[in-house]
Chains A and B, each alone.
Chain A
């Protein structure tokens, strides 16, 4: 089983790393966004007058938080579709 040539080995390792990476890279920002939404909803229920300010701030901070997940997605897309190490063999 371990008699793989190096392109196959690199492909297998790439797929495993991509899966683990996207799982971790999605879980952490999702938890953080959940906490942010929870706090904002707490604030809105306590003070409905401040809902507009809170919504703007919440959207901006959600976008900033979400961008970390997007970064990991981009790295993994590069790994899968345009792998720089795998390109040396072809």
Chain B
């Protein structure tokens, strides 16, 4: 979109320049590119220029990763869906503050981690008893083909939930979201060394918690 000199009414003062307001979403030959073919940075620019449908593409592209992140923190499908929606709403509100020095995914993760930690701290997340595993299957989850039983998976998730917040966030981003140490450092605003130390202590605590849980199990 641009403001062209010939768009001004006759008789008025006509500027002799053309001001490009929105970054082009065209290729080099001038053809409009489908939004789905734009990279994240250009989608953000298009969105800031008024193309709200560009934000829809951002959502489609990242909703799965953000949902999985939220689920690892709150362990309930409904809560994870609500938090995912909130992450994207906050991203939309703060889109101007996205400076592009990290990837959009990292930025979304940062919003998600902060939101999830605040959410978990603010209220006691409803525990999902292991006995409810069949109900999850009925709601659309199908862990039958997975290596671990639903019960064992629930025990791991419960142990992760008992980790201190920073260790928990680091472990989730590293193990389940498969972020590099550098990306985790960017997301959490810390150093690569601190991330590795947190992974080390998180895994040690996880093993201890699972062992305690196994011993205490009748």
Do A and B associate with each other? Answer: no
